[in-house]
């Protein structure tokens, strides 16, 4: 199969190079080879896309673009092009083809879901009067959407679908290392009839294109997914205009395994929760708290299963875990593990790059398990965005919850228990946006039908569900009568 050079920016319904002709290479994390070149978009490109989006919104308000029909049409096209989109994503991002297919399926489902959803206003009778109030949901305006590299198309899709369904316009900036699948998918939106300017993609760097989206007075809202440190920078930049922000940021999600848990299922969930996408998911399991009575058995089973993970190129059918996305990301994970182990932790598995010389030019790291971990160690105190898991032994649920909550993050958490009381206690006391109970992680710890987002430094606002759609609206109250 051959795609490319070729994927260009999508501005005002046309595929265009950057205004100064600059481009850069996108590299395959499995072997360091060039996948394609792509336009290096710049501030001028971002400004142009924002202007077109602004004009399109004015125009479409009058013509009322049929967004539900377009989202429905694009759903079918995404499903038809699943193999092509998934292949591009594996080549640019590194995850296995099976994982990429799962992401494309989620992308299609997201379009289908928002095709059937509308923001709902309400009518309110004012007490002791004849007045009637109507509460309306209006489109927020032009949105800047900034996306990370770990789930490039799924995260972009949720922003685009909810924003368009709310009647707003959008300019997307994909991560600079994963623009290709997003650009390919724009061909499908064009074929589905998206009106010019309503949806745009500008490729390039966060410091240039990303910051222009935040600073430009014509964007009314920023929907950002990425690291907590970048989220803070965006919030600072947005503050001068009191621009609306939704920030979906980092997490260090705890998984609690109680003494009465179905051990095999809990091991399965831990394995899937930590090592899918080579551990690079905001909702991945990043800390495990296991009751001491079952800890030895749990660790033995988990180690056996993790040993069977086949690390390799995501394009090969036998591979069950691909590379880490970039050399710098792999080095960061390696440094977190090394520092934790030199601080006294026990390495149960991994802790190194693979020995296989065929994998030498990729950014691989072996599945890693660590016990006896100091609570100030990097693996517990920081977000680990890679395939390494610290396992902490606890006496009971109170200790597990206390330790789980002792993090600056509050994105997700999960618990394995057969006791409803324990599940309810954990669900109510864990300081996170999403709690999974005996869940094997469907798409990745989230479902498009329900809101998702973080407590504490994991973010502000919610995406997905009707809440996600409403985050792209403003609320207006109109009062009738005297
Ligand atoms: P990142 O913050 O480095 O980059 C994310 C995006 O922001 C990229 O498109 C980047 O180019 C852009 N960017 C960087 N600096 C910018 C700036 N100054 N102004 C505007 N844009 C800028 O994050 P990453 O490494 O790509 O992604 C991994 C992080 O994302 C992890 O922390 C992960 O937990 C988090 N994440 C969170 C969620 C969630 O829903 N909460 C989902 C996925 C990933």
How would you classify the pairing of strands 169-173 and 199-201?
Answer: parallel
Alpha-carbon distance 123 to 103, whole Å? 39
Atom of ligand 1 nearest to the CA of 228: 32
Q: Residue 1 above 50 pLDDT?
A: no
Alpha-carbon distance 247 to 457, whole Å? 10
Please give the pLDDT value at position 65. 72
Closest CA to 364 of 322, 334, 332, 336: 322
Average pLDDT rounded to a whole number, residues 163-191: 97
187 CA distance to ligand 1 middle (Å)? 25
61 CA distance to ligand 1 middle (Å)? 32
Report angle CA 27, 10, 12 to the nearest 5 degrees.
165
| Both structure tokens of 448 | 């498009």
Q: What is the pTM of this model?
A: 0.97
Average pLDDT rounded to a whole number, residues 224-233: 98
How would you classify the pairing of strands 244-248 and 219-225?
Answer: parallel
100 lines ligand 1 (CB under 6 A): no
- The mean predicted confidence, pLDDT, of the chain is 95
- pLDDT category at 5 given cuts 50, 70, 90 is low
Strands (E), 231-312: 244-248, 253-257, 285-291
- Segment 22-70, tens digit of pLDDT: 999 999 999 999 999 999 999 999 999 999 999 999 987 756 679 999 9
**How many CA atoms does the CB half-sphere of 347 hold within 13 Å?**
17
42 CA distance to ligand 1 middle (Å)? 18
384 lines ligand 1 (CB under 6 A): no
- Segment 443-463, tens digit of pLDDT: 456 799 999 999 999 999 999
Please give the pLDDT value at position 63. 64
Closest CA to 103 of 299, 322, 252: 322
Please give the pLDDT value at position 6. 65
Alpha-carbon distance 201 to 10, whole Å? 5
DSSP string for residues in 319-350:
-SB---S-HHHHHHHHHHHHHHHHTT-EEEE-
- Closest Cα to atom 22, ligand 1: which residue? 206
444 lines ligand 1 (CB under 6 A): no
387 lines ligand 1 (CB under 6 A): no
Please give the pLDDT value at position 358. 95
**How many CA atoms does the CB half-sphere of 77 hold within 13 Å?**
18
Strands (E), 6-163: 9-11, 14-16, 23-27, 34-39, 122-125, 132-139, 142-146
212 lines ligand 1 (CB under 6 A): no
- Segment 125-143, tens digit of pLDDT: 998 788 999 999 999 999 9
282 in catalytic set: yes
Closest CA to 221 of 159, 278, 264: 159
Residue 105's alpha-carbon distances to 92, 151, 284, 419, 454, in angstroms, are 18, 12, 19, 34, 24
Closest CA to 258 of 430, 397, 389: 397
DSSP string for residues in 51-82:
HHHHHHHHHHHHH---HHHHHHHHHHHHHHTH
| Both structure tokens of 148 | 């990370």
Alpha-carbon distance 269 to 416, whole Å? 9
Q: Is the dihedral of CA 404, 410, 411, 415 positive or negative?
A: positive
Atom of ligand 1 nearest to the CA of 151: 43
Atom of ligand 1 nearest to the CA of 230: 2
Q: Which listed residue (282, 334, 383, 463) is catalytic?
A: 282
Q: Residue 315 above 80 pLDDT?
A: yes
463 in catalytic set: no
Burial class of residue 279 (count of CB atoms within 10 Å of its CB; 0-12, 13-18, 19+): buried
User: Which DSSP letter does residue 270 get?
Assistant: H
CB 222 within 8 A of CB 56: no
Alpha-carbon distance 183 to 280, whole Å? 22
Please give the pLDDT value at position 445. 66
Q: Which listed residue (103, 248, 334, 382) is catalytic?
A: 248
Alpha-carbon distance 228 to 249, whole Å? 5
């Amino acid at each position: 199969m051959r795609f490319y050079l070729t994927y260009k920016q999508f501005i005002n319904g046309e595929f265009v190079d950057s205004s100064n002709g600059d481009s850069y290479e996108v590299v395959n994390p499995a072997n360091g080879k060039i996948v394609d070149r792509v336009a290096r978009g710049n501030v001028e490109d971002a400004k142009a896309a924002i202007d077109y989006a602004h004009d399109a919104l004015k125009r479409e308000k009058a013509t009322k673009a049929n967004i539900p029909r377009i989202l429905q049409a694009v759903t079918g096209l995404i499903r038809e092009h699943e193999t092509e989109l998934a292949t591009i994503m594996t080549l640019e991002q590194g995850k296995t083809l099976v994982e990429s297919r799962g992401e494309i399926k989620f992308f299609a489902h997201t379009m289908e879901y928002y095709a059937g959803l509308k923001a709902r206003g309400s009518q309110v009778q004012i007490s002791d009067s004849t007045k009637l109030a109507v509460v309306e949901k209006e489109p927020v305006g032009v949105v800047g959407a900034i996306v990370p590299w770990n789930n490039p198309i799924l995260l972009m899709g949720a922003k685009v679908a909810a924003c368009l369904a709310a009647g707003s316009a959008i300019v997307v900036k994909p991560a600079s290392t994963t623009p290709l699948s997003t650009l390919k998918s724009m061909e499908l939106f064009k074929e589905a009839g998206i009106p010019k300017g309503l949806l745009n993609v500008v490729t390039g760097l966060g410091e240039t294109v990303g910051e222009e989206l935040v600073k430009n007075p014509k964007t009314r809202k920023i929907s950002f997914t990425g690291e907590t440190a970048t989220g803070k920078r965006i919030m600072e930049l947005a503050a001068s205009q009191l621009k609306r922000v939704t920030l979906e940021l980092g997490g260090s999600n705890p998984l609690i395994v109680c003494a009465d848990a179905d051990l095999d299922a809990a091991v399965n969930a831990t394995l899937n929760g930590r090592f899918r996408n080579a551990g690079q998911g905001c909702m991945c399991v990043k800390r495990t708290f296991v009751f001491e009575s079952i800890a030895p058995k749990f660790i033995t089973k988990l180690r056996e299963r993790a040993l069977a993970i086949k690390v390799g190129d995501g394009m090969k059918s036998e591979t069950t875990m691909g590379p880490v996305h970039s050399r710098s990301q792999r080095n960061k994970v390696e440094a977190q593990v090394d520092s934790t182990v030199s601080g006294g932790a026990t390495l149960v598995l991994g802790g190194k790059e693979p020995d296989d010389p065929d994998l030498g030019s990729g950014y691989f790291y072996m599945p890693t398990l660590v016990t006896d971990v100091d609570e100030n160690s990097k693996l517990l105190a920081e977000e680990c965005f890679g395939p390494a898991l610290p396992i902490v032994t606890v006496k009971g649920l109170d200790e597990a919850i206390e330790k789980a909550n002792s993090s600056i993050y509050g994105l997700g958490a999960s618990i394995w228990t057969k006791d409803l009381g324990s599940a309810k206690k954990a669900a109510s006391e864990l300081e996170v946006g999403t709690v999974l109970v005996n869940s094997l992680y469907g798409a990745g710890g989230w479902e498009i039908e329900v809101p998702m987002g973080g407590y504490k430094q994991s973010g502000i606002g919610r995406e997905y569900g009707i809440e996600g759609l409403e985050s792209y609206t403003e609320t207006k109250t109109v009062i009738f009568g005297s």
